[in-house]
Amino acid sequence: MEEAPVIEVSHLTRHFGRVTAVEDLSFTVGPCEIVGFLGPNGAGKSTTMRILAGFLPASSGTARIAGFDVFHESIEVRRRIGYMPENNPLPTDMRVREYLKFRARLKGLHGETCRERVDVVLDLCGLREVGRRIIGTLSKGYRQRVGLADALVHDPPLLILDEPTIGLDPNQIRSLRQLIKDLGQRRSVLLSSHILSEVEMTCTRVLIMHRGRVRAAGTTADLQKAMSDGNQVVAEICAPEEDLRECWESMHEITAFNISPCSGDFFRCALTAANGTDLRDRVFDEARNRGWRLRELTFTRHSLEDIFVHLTRTERPEE
């Protein structure tokens, strides 16, 4: 996969007055990658996306899409992206098909190709039966699909979707997620979200942003590995507390443990191992050898949520 990156951002900074929304941001997105921008509200996700879509200029730094500078060659960049802004603003007075046709024409399609593409995206986004409805009368889910259909209508090699699943119900989120995954097979997708599970399930790569900076980047698996120091084995064992304490202290892999009583005569032991090693078989052997009764044995991996919370909860370094 030695292809040129679709998005190339280097040292991008954007100030709004005294507020710095994006600070020294650098990343790349390759072809057919689905990259998720994750961060709490106000992390700079939307600002970055607006800069990439050519709606806002950067204060410093550069961003290139398919080799074109987003500021100096804005028209070329806009030809190659399908952008869905935050909150997906749509004119409420137009019909769905009419709106998509209008948008397709603005994006340079006309005549037969225009009609064909509008039909394709109507089908793709499940909008066929509401094509004649006025957008203002549609539900949130349908409006979101109209926004997505608009972003797709000129078949761009890159989709930039700002919070595409906001305001949708779980079923709609599920179907939209599948749709984005399918779309990502043939094109690159950059999407933002503050919902972790969504990014975890759809994206091949994640960029965690906080206060305008990328705090962590990599595949979900990479991030979990990086955080593996915190992996724990949880075991519920029926044994005297002193024996348990003595046993865990004797195992040199265990760097920390915590024993708390729970229902019955059982104790809940949370064992943290060095390098995040999975200690389940060792714990089981130990329990069998000593004749302890074991009723639960779990290996807790850090979810993206823990990583997210860990990275974004930290206090502001300066000021």
Partner 1 sequence: MNLRVFLTLWRRELSSSFASPVGYIVLAAVLLMLGVSFTLITDALAKPSDIPLTELFYGSLFFWVILLLSTPIITMRTFAGERATGTYENLMTTPVGDAEVVFGKFAGSLTFFLILWLPLIPCLLAVRHYTNDPSSLDWGAVASTHLGIASLGALYVAMGIFSSALTRNQIIAAIVGLALGVTLFLVSFNAAALAGPGAWPAAILREFSLVDQMWEFSRGIVDVRHLVFHLSLAAVFLFLTLKVVEARRWK
Helices (H), the chain: 45-52, 74-80, 96-106, 111-124, 140-152, 170-183, 196-202, 220-226, 241-250, 280-290, 304-313
- Site membership for partner 1, residue 164 (CB under 8 A): no
Question: Given the rule CB under 8 A, which of 107-115, 189-197, 204-212, 226-234 is the region that contacts partner 1?
Answer: 107-115
Helices then strands, counting H and E runs in the chain, come out as 11, 14
Question: Which pair of tokens denotes residue 83?
Answer: 């952008």
Q: Is 159 in the site for partner 1 (CB under 8 A)?
A: no
Residue 54 binds partner 1, judged by CB under 8 A:
yes
110 binds partner 1 (CB under 8 A): yes
The reply to whether 65 sits near partner 1 by the rule CB under 8 A is no
> Cβ of residue 144: shortest distance to partner 1, in angstroms?
14
Total chain residues near partner 1 (CB under 8 A): 28
CA 178 to CA 243: how far, in whole Å? 50
First to last CA, the chain: 43
Q: Does 53 bind partner 1 (CB under 8 A)?
A: yes
Q: What are the structure tokens assigned to 55, written together? A: 């709606």
Pairing status of strand 34-38 against strand 205-210: parallel
Which residue, 46 or 202, has its beta carbon nearer to partner 1? 46
CB of 10 or CB of 87, closer to partner 1: 87
Q: Is 166 in the site for partner 1 (CB under 8 A)?
A: no
SS3 labels along 57-101 = CCCEEEEEECCEECCCCHHHHHHHEEEECCCCCCCCCCEHHHHHH
Residues 75-94 contacting partner 1, CB under 8 A: 75-76, 78-79, 81, 83, 85, 87, 89-94
CB 311 to partner 1: min, Å: 29
Length of the chain: 319
- Report if residue 55 touches partner 1, rule: CB under 8 A: yes
* Distance, CA of 109 to CA of 103 (rounded, Å): 9
Tell me the window of 28-36, 37-45, 70-78, 227-235 that interacts with partner 1 (CB under 8 A): 70-78
- Cα separation, 128 vs 144, in Å, equals 14
Residues 220-239 interacting with partner 1 (rule: CB under 8 A): none
67 lies in the binding site for partner 1 (CB under 8 A)? no
Give me the residues that bind partner 1 (CB under 8 A), please: 50, 53-55, 57, 74-76, 78-79, 81, 83, 85, 87, 89-94, 102-103, 105-108, 110, 150
